[in-house]
Amino acid sequence: MSVMHINDVQLPDDRPLTVDDLELLPDDGNRYELMYGVLEVSPAPGGEHEDALHRLEFLLELCRPAKFKLMGGQGVNLHGDPTRHRIPDTTVIRQDEFESKYQVRPAVLAVEVASPGTALRDRNVKKAEYEEFGIESYWIVVPDPDHPSITAYDLRDGRYVQVAHVVDDEVFRTEQPYPFAVSPRQLVTQGEWRPGDRRP
């Protein structure tokens, strides 16, 4: 059997990789995903990405009805296929569909916070994969301090339809998967951003 080496870990390269193989890899901050058994590695995200993601998850959690569950960074096996594994930045699922290891059913919402190296993949490859899988809503957040934006898609008749594109201080309002509002600037500002926050 031939192998490939990643950080001193030996992975087979004579067959498609599966999520079981990913468990051998180190927790080094990189994101390890699979597309039909081919390993895709994304570098650890920077501070702007993580700050925007933390704020968005905080705000989503504040509004979340009890029947839903917010899942940050949990892997998803698309169509239950262990060779097709994605890790959205965050997802919202139904409480009764929770899986402790990997999600195998479509979330009601998947969010990707775009980094310079992932923006094209988020807008094309992942959008197509999430659409095919049946994830009901998909948001792409661009945490650019100068030009932040949120683009939102909802699944209608099996296809994603863009339902919003807001920039800077414009407010994104949605009822999917539950009533929620946020502006892109709120996710990147150096000042006040939390509801009721009056700190300088």
Q: For residue 40, what are the β-bridge partners? A: 33
Question: Number of folded domains in the chain?
Answer: 1
Other beta carbons within 10 Å of 106:
21
Per residue in 37-75, is it b (16+ CB within 10 Å) or e — as a string?
eebeeeeebeebbebbbebbbebbeeebeeebbbbeebb
Predicted pLDDT of residue 180: 97
Q: For residue 183, what are the β-bridge partners? A: none
Please state the rounded mean pLDDT for residues 159-170: 97
**Mean pLDDT in the chain?**
89
Predicted pLDDT of residue 26: 82
Query: ∠ CA(59), CA(60), CA(63), 5° rounding?
Result: 90
Predicted pLDDT of residue 150: 97
Query: Is the residue at 54 inside a domain?
Result: yes
Query: Is the residue at 118 inside a domain?
Result: yes
The answer on pLDDT for 198 being more than 90 is no
Predicted pLDDT of residue 8: 67
Confidence of residue 183 (pLDDT cuts 50, 70, 90): very high
Domain boundaries, position 126: 44-188
Query: Is the residue at 173 inside a domain?
Result: yes
The answer on pLDDT for 73 being more than 90 is no
| Structure tokens belonging to residue 165 | 């594109």
Query: Is the residue at 59 inside a domain?
Result: yes
Confidence of residue 2 (pLDDT cuts 50, 70, 90): very low
Predicted pLDDT of residue 58: 96
Query: Is the residue at 163 inside a domain?
Result: yes
Query: Is the residue at 106 inside a domain?
Result: yes
Task: Supply the CATH number for residue 125's domain.
Answer: 3.90.1570.10
Query: Is the residue at 35 inside a domain?
Result: no
The answer on pLDDT for 196 being more than 90 is no
CB 92 within 8 A of CB 105: no
What percent of the chain has pLDDT above 70?
93
DSSP, res 172:
E
Confidence of residue 13 (pLDDT cuts 50, 70, 90): confident
Predicted pLDDT of residue 9: 73
Predicted pLDDT of residue 38: 93
For residues 190 and 88, the model is more confident at 88
Predicted pLDDT of residue 200: 34
Query: Is the residue at 166 inside a domain?
Result: yes
Out of 93-97, 184-188, 195-199, pick the least confident.
195-199
Q: What is the pTM of this model?
A: 0.89
The answer on pLDDT for 123 being more than 80 is yes
